[in-house]
Amino acid sequence: MMLDKEAVINTIREAFGRNRYPGDNFLQGSFEGCKPYEEIQPFKGKTDWQALEPALLDTHYAALSFFSEAALRFFLPAYLIADLRDELQTADPLFVLTHGFSDVAVEHQTKAGVFSRKTGKTAFINPKRYGAMTFYDYARWRLSVFAREEAQAIVAYLTYKRDNDVYHLHTQAIEAALNLYWLDRAKNAPSLKELEQYLSEEESYLAAIRME
């Protein structure tokens, strides 16, 4: 049964609706060059992701790559809903959720011969800096920020995108991401209740320490 678009949007709103704004100083995840700062700066002070205009999201599509994990978790639902409503021209949240779970190879003809350039699951990120880390390793780490209910909303989004991919441009990538990561995450990740309980216990502990 194909999912209804508005039902998917409501699922996203319910799953992400209670998330806390990370704070202005904790939005930027990359500090290499000036580009990350330029992309993240417009999101400072935007404490309600549901009020963001699609034009802002589309203009700063690269922010999806430069957000900290906390910021990605907070702002991603705005991108997902805008995408479902066909309000994005450049921003591609689907790529963020599927890249690293399947391989893509492109042949590049040069004067010295043909080179196969691979990216995705088994491709190394940059061995000089990250050793044996692959894009698959990185994707699993970065996307582990999402709680169980959020992962379930992401599964609904991915399923809708797959079922409405008329030309099957992204079907393989979506199914690989679902089978290798998201379906399990939606079933076994810590729940929002568990996260809230942990935060409550930490606050009680810190309060007790301050009283000593």
pLDDT in tens, 88-132: 999 999 999 999 999 998 899 999 999 988 899 999 999 999 999
Amino acid, single-letter form, for residue 75: F
pLDDT 10s digit of each residue in the chain, 212 long? 678 999 999 999 999 999 999 999 999 999 999 999 999 999 999 999 999 999 999 999 999 999 999 999 999 999 999 999 999 999 999 999 999 999 998 899 999 999 988 899 999 999 999 999 999 999 999 999 999 999 999 999 999 999 999 999 999 999 999 999 999 999 999 999 999 999 999 999 999 999 98
Length of the chain: 212
Q: 174 lies in which domain range?
A: 5-211
Rounded CA-CA distance 16/48 in Å is 11
Count of domains forming the chain: 1
pLDDT of residue 170: 97
Rounded CA-CA distance 31/41 in Å is 12
Containing 107, the helix (H) or strand (E) segment is strand 103-110
With beta carbons less than 8 A apart as the criterion, state whether 139 and 99 touch. yes
